[in-house]
Structure 1
């Protein structure tokens, strides 16, 4: 027995010794830069990611530890990094290092340094090794340029018009569904949790405008027994023959269970898959069904694209756009292969609907907490559609979207405070890299991870004023001369991704990065903006939203739900907030 204890103590001592040596080495690396640094006790790793999804470890970190130690512990952890806001930046400055036993990470919340990094793609590449379990995501250099060349043209005004129409259709059907199910009174719609409906809305939009598959908001109760390609995408009570999921249900399942699906199908050794099949059956089936649906989409898309060439419908959805890019290539082999198109479709699905879904969920709760903002939003919508048809389905995209300034400002402000993705990762690659910070050049060693610190930037009083932590969409309105951002009104070079409109104010370049910036800026930013703006215009033209519980306790519960958000794939609230929509 004594020998066993001795062995355990020796093993623990060896592990502790390795930990201390690793910390010491990384501290020395940090000290060579001359930047402020902080030592975090726990490194980011797959086991740590799993532990952070339990209830007890986050509770200990966030409830028992002093705030400074909780912030330091959370800083390397993607799940809880957003909760720090800009507190670490106040402690250590706009550029500081986080040291763990595994890595040195440079956290950047200085707008000028952000601009340097995003515009130096070769010096600060994407850390593709972080995405190795996701074969559709990691690429750099020539491979990245190949994908970018053939996907960038798919996001165009023809597609935006399709997004506009599909978003209006889905938002209108969603309201109709709420009137049927949420309350016996159509002028008062009580909803315990809007999360599933918002997910359904955004998935339906990406299905229609992205993949050419129009799905009604209210699912059909019929059963799908058709083997024909044209029918297998119907949203029915049962999947088509040969599938375990309907098209919409497999996209929804994969979105929620992405880690399980990736682990089961791409990380688990083949020899373990059979014995674990009973536990992971749905994960295996989801991966198989999604692949088969995507392949069928390419086949049906190829047929419909061939028939639509020369018409207004040609290349209007994203699949048609990628097929058109392949058809236009001088050398057909240089276009996107079916496998590459499927990979990009996976990215469009995850990123495309995730951005709008996350932003809409937060916007509805924030607006319920802000009656004055809601009144400003409502008046702006009425002013924009004053001379337009009463039926939103007849609103012309080119004429109406540009006038809907208040919904766009709500989206910009929601994404400032609650960005769907809380960090933009970079690294220094295999060579040392330089940044210029506070009047001097700083050399970062090879292999240093870089976190473009979105919460540090977006909550900075330096870039947003004294009310940086306040939800105030009017700060973005170009007609608001009292906004802190108005001081930059005539400053050149501030047109960052998502801020291309003359109707909005722009902050210092590099201070606002929910769509990233530079060479790798989000291709689908306007897709998301058109979808969000159309949805808010349809809903808040006719309804206002309030908390179901308007007491002080109800308000505190809603604010707590916002502040205790965590990031899995995207930022999200852990608990729902009951809302009531009342007809204006």
Structure 2
């Protein structure tokens, strides 16, 4: 209503930031429909581009460089105010203070298998962190490396055998590779690249692989259906085939997780996969507390975290690999630069050992960092404030000052962190929209005349202070960051 809009406008004015005033809620259902149906028409308006995350990749940091809004501004609507920022000082402030800037209710939609480390806040997050942190260890990393090498060799065999050496697309194949690695690292289930485990296990209608793939491909549908599953089962006969397939996958994957948890408890020995580690951690906590801690880590929470690991680690890595392959294909000089390192490190080693090889492939890692900088999976990150009048730090407008300024976040205000805009800001990077993995490598000093200089090269640290946070930052930095790096480097 106009009354609510005026109230929020008065709140927004208190910040002293530039304002964009809308009569529609950027997070509301009406806008989601309009921005989808009338996308081609709405794209011509700056206000529409500012609030649509899909167009964030196209606009880079134009709000600051071309549109006169600066790095931080407020979108005012009848429903709420939203502070949008690409200021690295503000983003560091928000991501570094998890108890004040929390994940909002929108994340709760991902709890349909159970509450998990990605969706909860406060002390509950502490509990889930304790459950999940042991999962990402060097034993698991070594297993991920072996599986990444095995799957990528099979994928390469397929590509080389393609007619005239031409591959129509890469995304489907990188999705299969990522899924197979996740299945192996998550559940200890290994698949062949060319066929996978397509036969359902006894008592199942879908294979483990196919049930997970169906869910990941239809995530939004699954999220909507999850809250109404009992009702949908009654009217299943009137649903479309696609909806019935998603329903089946939802139930099948839950059964597979139930069976995996039960099997881990039966075996009693820790294996190098995520679900085994979580079960052992949960059981150890229960035994250490005389059984009382069993409520702390329920099987539902284990399943919730297993699913979120698969969700967070699938398309992200698959798409990063596909982008990297395409970018390398278009940049022959960078291809040669990366190949030089691989030849030097691997030499004639047909079976590279994780502990010996991974730390040396700095240029390969640079390809990943640069690809994520420009083509990251999350162009924007939403956050809510736990209470009104929370202070927010901003970079000082005085170029000679190293101290940040502070504003107070008024009531009924949330935040949107513009990660892609930060990653493409000329303030943070030279030639910010150019894909250049070399920016992450510090050459030997003084330069050496032979390839042995590769040994003395150093990987340039990527930090939030320089405007980089591809895996987020702070206490809630992506727990699977190392696993994703090992997978990417192993495949490439």
Q: How many residues align?
A: 458
Give 1:46's match in structure 2, choosing from 25, 29, 34: 29
Give 2:303's match in structure 1, choosing from 334, 342, 362: 342
Q: What whole-Å deviation, never above 9, does each CA across 1:525-573 have from its counterpart, x for those lacking one?
A: 010000001111xxxxxxxxxxxxxxxxxxxxxxxxxxxxxxxxxxxxx
Q: What whole-Å deviation, never above 9, does each CA across 1:43-65 have from its counterpart, x for those lacking one?
A: 22234334544xx4222222xx2
CA displacement at 1:478 relative to structure 2: 2.1
Spell out the pairing of 1:428-577 with structure 2 (5 A cutoff). Answer: 428-437=385-394, 438=396, 439-465=404-430, 467-479=431-443, 503-506=459-462, 509=465, 511-536=467-492
Equivalent residue for 2:371? 414
Give 1:376's match in structure 2, choosing from 337, 341, 364: 337
**Relative to structure 1, is the Cα distance of residues 51 and 294 closer, same or farther in structure 2, using a 3 angstrom cutoff?**
farther
TM-score by length of 2: 0.87
Give 2:234's match in structure 1, choosing from 274, 278, 287: 274
**Relative to structure 1, is the Cα distance of residues 410 and 119 closer, same or farther in structure 2, using a 3 angstrom cutoff?**
same
Equivalent residue for 1:85? 60
Q: CA RMSD in A?
A: 2.3
For residues 370 and 470 of structure 1, what CA distance do their matches in structure 2 show? 11
Identify the structure with bigger relative contact order (alpha carbons < 8 Å, sequence gap 6+): 2
Secondary structure of 1:462's counterpart equals coil
Secondary structure of 1:44's counterpart equals coil
Give 1:143's match in structure 2, choosing from 116, 121, 124: 124
**Relative to structure 1, is the Cα distance of residues 162 and 202 closer, same or farther in structure 2, using a 3 angstrom cutoff?**
same
Secondary structure of 1:464's counterpart equals coil
Equivalent residue for 1:364? 325
CA displacement at 1:302 relative to structure 2: 2.7
CA displacement at 1:448 relative to structure 2: 1.6
CA displacement at 1:405 relative to structure 2: 1.0
| Counterpart contact for 2:464–2:473, Cα < 8 Å | no
| Counterpart contact for 1:261–1:286, Cα < 8 Å | no
For residues 120 and 507 of structure 1, what CA distance do their matches in structure 2 show? 16
> Where does the alignment leave 5 or more consecutive residues of structure 2 unmatched?
397-403, 447-456
Secondary structure of 1:33's counterpart equals coil
For residues 502 and 141 of structure 1, what CA distance do their matches in structure 2 show? 37
For residues 126 and 262 of structure 1, what CA distance do their matches in structure 2 show? 17
CA displacement at 1:23 relative to structure 2: 3.0
For residues 269 and 505 of structure 1, what CA distance do their matches in structure 2 show? 47
Q: What whole-Å deviation, never above 9, does each CA across 1:452-511 have from its counterpart, x for those lacking one?
A: 21111000111112x0000000000122789xxxxxxxxxxxxxxxxxx95234355261
Equivalent residue for 1:248? 209
Give 1:217's match in structure 2, choosing from 193, 206, 228: 193
Secondary structure of 2:378's counterpart equals coil
For residues 466 and 335 of structure 2, what CA distance do their matches in structure 1 show? 29
Q: What whole-Å deviation, never above 9, does each CA across 1:258-307 have from its counterpart, x for those lacking one?
A: 111111222x3854653365222112111101101111121223334x1x
| Counterpart contact for 1:40–1:73, Cα < 8 Å | no
Equivalent residue for 1:546? none
CA displacement at 1:34 relative to structure 2: 0.7
CA displacement at 1:315 relative to structure 2: 4.3
For residues 444 and 465 of structure 2, what CA distance do their matches in structure 1 show? 20
2:122 matches 1:162: no
> Where does the alignment leave 5 or more consecutive residues of structure 1 unmatched?
1-17, 221-234, 309-313, 483-500, 537-584
